[in-house]
Structure 1
């Protein structure tokens, strides 16, 4: 089966959750014999033509806030019209218009929409309106819609009355990592720091993590890892929230083996989001056996399957209390770590995820 992948920045993944899911899924699809082309943003300029058996096609985009994805996906969709793909694997509900255009030209798509993006604070009033309209359009034009969180699945089925597929992203069970020197560079010690990893956005509330940690009595440190080139104001807000406490480090985005080491050697992983799909950072933390402290939004509760200490998402004092509890109670951390690995092993497998996407793509292509 020939598959075109649109709606992401490209692979190897170095930006967000869509890219991580795309990379891990299409690598397996390629191993299983499918012919995959991933549309990547920017010009090639010496970048590889292939990645682990996957063709990489580079096209330009308009690199402005909220314009990079739609501009690139539009160009990619036009290109895809003239290529003999059996199915299109599309990402991001904001690309529903491009999926509609592809359908007009006979291209069937599987659209992975993540969670309910119109709830996210990073978009203005127009952006949230556009995403809600895109959501409604997607429900009409995509051959298959996929979400990675059960609350999102319920929303689509209730509001639009159509079947939506729940396919959670995966993770790996990690038993060892390569030493990279990142802990020494950041002034951290193994199992003596709290970790937050993710794009810095208002709905993920990393500033709140810093503010809560300042009120906690502990010798542990806090590492808030992530960046956001499209919202420097919020990045600065996080840095300002961390100022004045030498225990807190905000190093910016870190990728690859360094991130792997940070996860593996963390004492606690924290997520304070008020809006999520299924957080890939939470899944990766569980695969590393890290005790979890997460906000009690429905998406987080459905993702962790009881393997996390929860705090009320709208109660700062409860957040501080639970953060103090988890850093102070080694026995609690040990119990949560064991639960994390159990849940990761039971529910989150990249092979299972890829097999489910393969079934939908084959059906869209009329090859099932």
Structure 2
């Protein structure tokens, strides 16, 4: 697996998908290596383990290979992908699975040496606002390389499948992400840390980058008279200026709580006890956070982009993408109508867990490996 920043982690949707696939493939008897980017905060001896008779570091039976790269946000993904691919050429693999458009730049190198290459396009990354001209060009080139050279291409939404067919004439495999029913828990740590008691906050959970539209939510929330809090859970990802903009907006409203990245019990609690979850994004591939929040039985208010609507169907309210006034109106309606919120909550978990299944995802992925 090449393309993730590091696994296991919740740095983004790619990381979650890679680890879900890797652990399930392991359970079925496959050997899986995951190529992580170097991160100075990760202490190998503390986070991973040695297995007698095997070389390298392991986490839960999966080999973790750490690849050096540059600190420069514009180049580190390219350098990592190149070095990871070169290393993988000598790993004796049956399949090299590239995740996201950027790493797919390197597919021609692997194909030149006869390797079987699978590409998963998690979204049209060049559309994301955080990337400059150079990065966008590289992402588009990676997308084109996937279309032209990968043995098989997996996409996460029908919208992206149509895009590949229209732009490149390339047939792709639509395999959406999976989800498993979580265990809901009551508030304890979130009460101690943030004063949240349950059903008293609106939550957004994502990387804090421009395409997630968190500024729309802050602007809309500011105009609503409510005692409920707005919780922004997540950290920056190559978007320091946008992070500062969000912090400045949040500082103007004492009802806004910014948690940074959260994990483990705190994450479980904050997902279990929200009044509303809001995903106001302009661009998505297929949001893992949205699947997770629906699996917890949340009322999920989402922007009406195709990738979101395709997931929620009629089981969640929507608002017009990037329209702050419409977002404000729908939020106000949901705050004034708790019975409507409760209706969505009752439907969301069973619906999403029956629609998206990790076991089916893995079975279909293995079939593509073997084609």
Alignment TM-score, normalising by the size of structure 1? 0.94
Shift of 1:71: 1.3
Instruction: Confirm or deny that 1:221 pairs with 2:238.
Output: no
Aligned residues: CA RMSD? 1.5
Instruction: Confirm or deny that 1:292 pairs with 2:288.
Output: no
Contact 2:105 2:143 in 1 (8 A): no
Instruction: Confirm or deny that 1:260 pairs with 2:268.
Output: yes
Tell me the SS of whatever aligns to 1:218: coil
CA distance in 1, matches of 2:187, 2:94: 43
* Alignment deviations for residues 78-129 of structure 1 (CA, whole Å, 9 cap, x no partner): 1111121000111111122211111111111111111111211111123223
Instruction: Confirm or deny that 1:159 pairs with 2:167.
Output: yes
Shift of 1:57: 1.3
Instruction: Confirm or deny that 1:20 pairs with 2:28.
Output: no
For residue 218 of structure 2, the aligned residue among 210, 213, 236 is 210
Instruction: Confirm or deny that 1:316 pairs with 2:324.
Output: yes
The equivalent of 2:52 in structure 1 is none
For residue 37 of structure 1, the aligned residue among 21, 26, 33 is 33
Instruction: Confirm or deny that 1:126 pairs with 2:134.
Output: yes
Tell me the SS of whatever aligns to 1:6: coil
CA distance in 2, matches of 1:186, 1:69: 35
Contact 2:234 2:262 in 1 (8 A): yes
Mapping 1:60-79, distance limit 5 Å? 60-79=68-87
Instruction: Confirm or deny that 1:331 pairs with 2:327.
Output: no
Structure 2: stretches of 5+ with no match in the other structure: 49-56
Shift of 1:60: 1.1
Tell me the SS of whatever aligns to 1:93: coil
Structure 1: stretches of 5+ with no match in the other structure: 364-368
Shift of 1:229: 4.6
Larger relative contact order (Cα-Cα within 8 Å, sequence gap ≥ 6): 1
Tell me the number of residue pairs that the alignment of Structure 1 and Structure 2 aligns.
359
CA distance in 2, matches of 1:110, 1:9: 18
Shift of 1:346: 2.1
CA distance in 2, matches of 1:55, 1:204: 32
Which of 171-180 and 190-199 deviates more?
171-180
Tell me the SS of whatever aligns to 1:242: helix
Tell me the SS of whatever aligns to 1:35: coil
* Alignment deviations for residues 136-164 of structure 1 (CA, whole Å, 9 cap, x no partner): 22101111111111111110011111211
